[in-house]
């Protein structure tokens, strides 16, 4: 199974409260990933900017989804659509590795709900 399918299945099995927590953990870890791009990094500036924009886009989608779960937007994406959107963004900005790591981090946390 690919990462998109695994995320879909994992999120589908969570309650709304657990999904919010999982999304928050994913976002938290993506912030840690962004810190990798400190001044003096070996990648060129254009590549670094692309990757940071990708992480930012993922965090924006995550925040939007959390707001939706709390009634602030019109609707919540079904797990399969959410997974597809996340991995499309990650592929576009070449940050799939970070998204996979963030999902692994979130899955390693125990939900209190």
φ and ψ at 57, to 5 degrees?
A: -65, -40
CA distances for 23 relative to 2, 27, 46, 86, angstroms: 19, 6, 28, 11
pLDDT of 113 > 70? The answer is no
pLDDT at res. 39: 75
**66: Cβ contacts below 8 Å, ≥ 6 apart:** 20, 23, 24
Query: What pLDDT digit, counting tens, does each position of 11-43 carry?
Result: 999 998 999 999 999 999 999 999 888 777 788
Query: What pLDDT digit, counting tens, does each position of 57-79 carry?
Result: 999 999 999 999 887 666 788 99
pLDDT at res. 101: 95
Which residue ranges make up each domain of the chain? 3-108
pLDDT of 107 > 70? The answer is yes
pTM: 0.89
């Amino acid at each position: 199974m690919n990462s998109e399918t695994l995320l879909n299945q994992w999120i589908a099995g969570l309650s709304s409260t657990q999904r919010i927590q999982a999304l928050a953990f994913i976002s938290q870890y993506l912030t840690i990933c962004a810190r990798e791009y400190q001044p003096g990094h070996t990648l060129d500036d254009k590549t670094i900017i692309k990757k940071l924009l990708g992480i930012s886009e993922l965090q924006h989608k995550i925040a939007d989804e959390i707001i939706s779960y709390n009634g602030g937007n019109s609707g919540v994406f079904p797990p399969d659509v959410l997974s597809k959107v996340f991995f499309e963004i990650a592929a576009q900005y070449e940050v799939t590795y970070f998204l996979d790591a963030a999902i692994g981090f979130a899955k390693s946390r125990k939900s209190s709900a």
